[in-house]
Structure 1
Amino acid sequence: MHAWPASEVPALPGKGRDLQIHDSATQGTITLVPGPVARIYVCGITPYDATHIGHAATYNAFDLVQRLWLDTKRQVHYVQNVTDVDDPLLERALRDGHDWTELAEREIALFREDMTALRMLPPQDYIGAVEAIPDIVPLVERLRDAGAAYELDGDTYFSVESDPHFGGVSHLDADAMRRLSAERGGDPDRPGKKNPLDPMLWQSARPGEPDWDGASLGRGRPGWHIECVAIALDHLGVGFDIQGGGSDLAFPHHEMGASHAQVLTGEFPMAKAYVHAGMVALHGEKMSKSKGNLVFVSALRRAGVDPAAIRLALLAHHYRADWEWTDDVLAEAVARLERWRAAVSRPDGLPADALVEEVREALANDLDAPAALAAVDRWVDAQNASDGDDESAPGLVSRTVDALLGVAL
């Protein structure tokens, strides 16, 4: 599966700073010092609906990580999956009378368009669950053969008790885990499971649903969590720098994935940092496909909203914060974009070397994009209030905003 085209990232003078980031597993801020190649895995979409602002906010956060690492003169190996077979996709296709593969392909294509418009840097490896099945099956067999998985009425489940570190990503108690498991694709009330929290690794074939050859597992399709584990281990190996996604993935998805990988490899942790973006609300409730309270990136673009303004609206909120999308949020972003573009359109201006370092410092401090925007605002206000004579300044500001924030002025 192919991703989307990459926008050029301008080179800046000097060198960026190492990232201090909040890690859900340690519940504190850690400093990441990757090797020459920084490694990041971000969980992708289940393609049964278009890209909404909540999706965009999550991918914007990890785009900032990529840009910060590139500014430190490292290479970045970024991997993202697409859950192109799963219950929500099949249910939506059945509801609307569509072929599930055509629905997935259409929504993936729209997602690519939205990511391109928002100048999100693409992953080097963009892998669908279906194409990963040949890698998934042997992992499930290994878990079963090691006694970490068991069969129940033809389905194969992972035993969470096989991982002594289980619970170390989300830090939830058993009651909260059980509740969230039921809400987020699990089946804690299924009779016969060794532990209500045990997640499915391989679902045996069901009438009317797609299935694949699972070798000794029989025909069926993979569970949600093992999909990402197989892709991450195949392309990044264990101990990569960041496992990322929305905060709603901390449990069960990232918790279960970590346990799968740690039992499979015997190494801990799966990732050096588990990084989670906050949720975006609309009309007082978290944007949700099930509730239908969504603002779509593609709809905003069709209405004539500049993608750079959409991106500034996202950047105005700290990535870990929960926040609400409103007309005022977008209006403020549009006005900020106009001010910034007017300031850098002048032939000369105030020196901007200090601004470059301010933006770098803000982003290195747990991706503090609002502080980075405030730094640019101060330069813009000063630029508009006085006459500067540095001919290189407007260009340097434009390159900084583009390289580090992904906003084209």
Structure 2
Amino acid sequence: MKKTLLATALLAGFVSAASAQSSVTLYGVVDAALSYTNYSYSNSTTGSVGTSQFGARNGQQSGSRFGMKGVEDLGGGNGAIFQLESGFNPGNGTQSDSARLFNRQSWFGLQNAAFGALKFGRQNSVSYDYMGLKTDPFEIASALVGSTTAFTWDAARYDNLLSYETPVMSGFQAKVGYSFAAGNASYYQTTTAAGATTYTAGSAAAAYNFNTQNNLTGMTAGAKYSNGPLYLVATYEQLNPNQNVIGGLNNVNGFIVGGTYDFGVAKVYADYGRQYNGLLAGGNQQMQGITTSDITDPSAATTGNVVFAPGVAVNAYLLGLSAPVGANGMLLASWQMANPNAAFSQSAAYVSSANQSTYSLGYTYNFSKRTNLYAFGSYTSNYAMVSGLNATQVMVGLRHTF
């Protein structure tokens, strides 16, 4: 018994010494829910059709993931840093992206307490880190309650991103990055001689070509300010087309401004965003189209797709509220709207110019600091900006972080 205790103490000492030299943290989220989702479509010509699904869904409050992050002290206030993060489906144990082991994040870099951090690799966009996780009461949940329903580019990530982030200075912090090959599948809008609108497929998701101009490149930037109950932020995203697919197209870009204020009894959220010359993300969602014979889940294959479409613009709005209920509960609510411009009428076979509105309610209950129960519900009219397509979703789930 004494030998066992001695061995345990020695092992603990070795682990402590190792972690003091090179701090490495294993972390993750396991999130699963029972969900009911219904899509219904109707118009005066075709009548009404619909489809629904009830069953287990993965990562509806937060995407299930595991990861490693670490820092090594290099002396003089400098450190080597890294983060590797992989998404998975707890329902069947598979990776959420079969093409990538670390599909969520995969980067390394250097940091200095006085000068900030320089990183390279697959990283979250600034909108993801500064906006979605901060100015949405549902924290960009994978369910339809999340802000990505209207702000489709809110949760974007970039491959091959070189970024610099300042240290926090009197509550202010900023970040900027450039991607040499963004890793987003792309589509290019063209108009035929007869005036019809078509789409040409561009680069595949993970393509990185030798010719510099044969890559879809990107830029992400933003700044935030935090002071007590006040949080303010502005972000900008831009994707540049592969000119070897279709030349002469402009970049597609978007910005978001927003913030929160915590009154103690309740916290309020407000965001406004606009994307122009196309769609920064969620392209398949808008392009897939809905027919009376085949209503499929429009959110099924949307992640990372970008549409280059000259003149197309979408304004996005969000108002939200969170309020504590008792010692362990939290009530959540939000309204979102995506407002496309008339340019969408050029591609009526895929989308329309209908305003998409989403109304959401939620409740979370913390069993502990790391485990919580959640119940969400939402209703979306003109989902995917398709006139007459409505979506209803309710769910109950459990989330554990480690």
Shorter-chain TM-score range = under 0.3
Q: Answer 1 or 2: higher relative contact order, Cα 8 Å, separation at least 6.
A: 1
TM-score by length of 2: 0.27
Bigger strand fraction: 2
Bigger helix fraction: 1
TM-score by length of 1: 0.26
